[in-house]
Amino acid sequence: MTTKNTTTSTARQRSADDNLVKALSHPLRWQILRMINEGTSTPAGIARRLGVRTENVSYHVRVLNDLGVIELIGTTPVRGALEHHYRATRRAEINDAESDAMPDEVRRDMVQGIVREVISDLIRVGASDSAYSRADVHFSQVPLRLDEEGYQEIADLLSATLDRVMEIQAESLARMAGDETDEIRTEVALMHFPYVPET
């Protein structure tokens, strides 16, 4: 009986992971899921932030909902129509094995999308006072020389760090319990990649 339950659980997890890979296989769906990971969102609100047509966003939101990585949590009447509110059920990330199973062009689009988002956020931060308002902000860049084992160790360390970052956020949200008076909005960007020399 235990073996059967374990097998069923493993099959369900594999199916959920496959759905996440399908969800992230389109660059716009990755961006949409990333935004819904930040908090409850609507297709119209996402479309405004991305500067794309609401109809296009709504289509991909339906795909994400069908794949089970987001869920509808309510509707609001707006000018004679219903605005749909969604929240994420999965984080917008995949593990190394799932990434390896992706076509190169899909993985490239995901990486380029992440880099564009980070660069855009950093430019905005650099132009404001927020990067200098606290002594404990962290910005670092460290060139490294590694063998394959060292590379994998760092990849595992960053993955574990991200897991802990998400746990800390969950603990913070529980402490705030809906009272956002003392909320501090921050962003964490973790990157580790092969060095590309200047040409």
What is the structure's pLDDT at 79? 84
Q: Which fold has domain 1-112?
A: Arc Repressor Mutant, subunit A (1.10.10)
Mean pLDDT for the stretch of residues 141-170: 92
Mean pLDDT of the chain: 82
Question: Domain residues of the chain, as ranges?
Answer: 1-112, 137-194
Q: What band does 152 get if pLDDT is binned at 50, 70 and 90? A: very high
Q: Which percentage of the chain shows pLDDT scores above 90?
A: 24
Q: What band does 154 get if pLDDT is binned at 50, 70 and 90? A: very high
| Angle between helical axes of 27-38 and 104-126 (0-180°, round to 10) | 50
Nearest to 20 by CA among 30, 35, 11: 30
| Angle between helical axes of 27-38 and 2-24 (0-180°, round to 10) | 110
pLDDT tens-place string over residues 5-48: 444 455 555 555 677 777 777 778 888 888 888 778 899 999 99
Whether the pLDDT of residue 113 is over 80: the answer is no
Q: Are 50 and 57 in contact (CB under 8 A)?
A: yes
